[in-house]
Structure 1
Amino acid sequence: MRSGQFGRFRLAAGAVVLTAVTVVAGTGASAFSSPSAPAETGASSTEARLLPTAREIRAQFDSWNHDLVSGDVNKVVRHYAHDAVLLPTLSNKVRTTHEGIKDYFVEFMAKKPTGKILETHVVLQSDHSAVDAGVYRFTFGDGTFTDARFTFVYEKRHGHWMIINHHSSKMPQG
């Protein structure tokens, strides 16, 4: 583990959750929860307005998936911060550099995957930090598919949402 990674993740995991949105794909159902008053969280109404929307965070996956389908591995890798950690779906190797992330996606993208979110839970932590977790399905060019759990941790850096941590693992039961 590189210096500072664990501390950053602990901070994100321990941050006050200001807003949470849950969407179950295909049902159109969603649940929205937020603090009943800014005073309860210590946030002012001005700070609350700075939060990204769940739609903005969900759009990050759509952009990532679009680049995945494009076949251009460099476009996919650009979504990851320089210090990102990838725990990939179809590999036991943890990737902590752009070179390692690219290496994984070269093999993964050769299978011609298309991702689709089946269930998503967006947690807006601050104006520059959010988590999207749930279940997605990758359908491959040969018609096979893999369902997996995912967690994307995003951080806004220099005006752009970047993936700082991406965990994806096959569902434990078929």
Structure 2
Amino acid sequence: MTRKTRIRAALVTATALVTAATVTVGVSAAGGESKPAKPTKKQIAALFDGWNKTLQTGDEDKVTARYADDAVLLPTVSNKIRTNHTEIADYFHHFLENKPVGTKTKTIINVLDNNSAIDTGSYYFILTDPKTGEKKRVDARYTYEYEKRGGQWLIVNHHSSMMPEG
């Protein structure tokens, strides 16, 4: 093997090693770290659907698990601002007694970056009185702020208030 051939073989081997290392640590061909793709608006909208389905379980702990530890909840049918899991679970304990079922009527989604998005709009809940079985519709406006933390989308801010005209 000539010296030129050995140098060429060494360069090919070195290039293969650098390429393998680059793929392993997640560096793009452009030289920057690769990032997960931005979520789609449809993916963000599906987070509400998952939250709404969790309401159907009637389990406040499951609902609360969808919120970050430092989340803020300004709830629909309470004047108290909730700022930790204990307070959020307390709200849902009482709210879930009414077997709420939410339906969005208008949605505006802004994907801010790969790890954060805002879903805002209007929705209504059908609530069932636990004593009489009477159903009541509560129209409200909402804002959900989501962040992806530890690979999981969590609610970091949730504001819901009854519509003023109605």
2:80 to 93, 98, 122: 93
The C-alpha deviation readout for 1:19-39, integer Å capped at 9, x for no partner, is xxxxxxxxxxxxxxxxxxxxx
* More relative contact order, 1 or 2 (CA 8 Å, 6+ apart): 1
Name the aligned partner's letter for residue 83 of structure 1: D
Kindly, what percent of the aligned residue pairs are identical? 48
Question: Could you tell me which amino acid in structure 2 is paired with residue 149 of structure 1?
Answer: R
Dislocated runs of 4+, deviation >4 Å: 46-49
Note the residue ranges of structure 1 that are not aligned, 5 or more in a row: 1-45
Distance 1:47 1:132 in 2: 26
> Which residue in the other structure is 2:64 paired with?
77
SS in 1 for 2:103: strand
TM-score (norm 2): 0.75
Q: Distance in 1 between matches of 2:125 and 2:50?
A: 15
Hey, what's the Cα distance between the residues in 1 that align with 2:110 and 2:93?
30
Q: Which whole-Å CA distance do the structure 1 matches of 2:41 and 2:123 have between them?
A: 17
The aligned length equals 129
Question: 150, 156, 162: which one pairs with 2:148?
Answer: 156
Within the alignment, does 1:170 sit opposite 2:162 as a pair?
Answer: yes
Look up the match of 1:61: 48
User: For residues 77 and 49 of structure 1, what CA distance do their matches in structure 2 show?
Assistant: 26
- Cα shift readout 1:110-156 (whole Å, capped 9, x = no counterpart): 01110000100000000000000000100012321100000000000
* Normalised TM-score (structure 1): 0.71
RMSD (CA atoms): 1.6
Aligned residue identity for 2:137: F
1:6-155 paired onto structure 2 within 5 Å: 50-141=37-128, 142-155=134-147
Tell which structure's C-alpha radius of gyration is larger: 2
State how far apart, in whole Å, the 1-side matches of 2:115 and 2:91 are. Answer: 27
Q: State the alpha-carbon separation in 2 of the partners of residues 99 and 149 from structure 1.
A: 24
Q: Which has the higher helix share?
A: 2
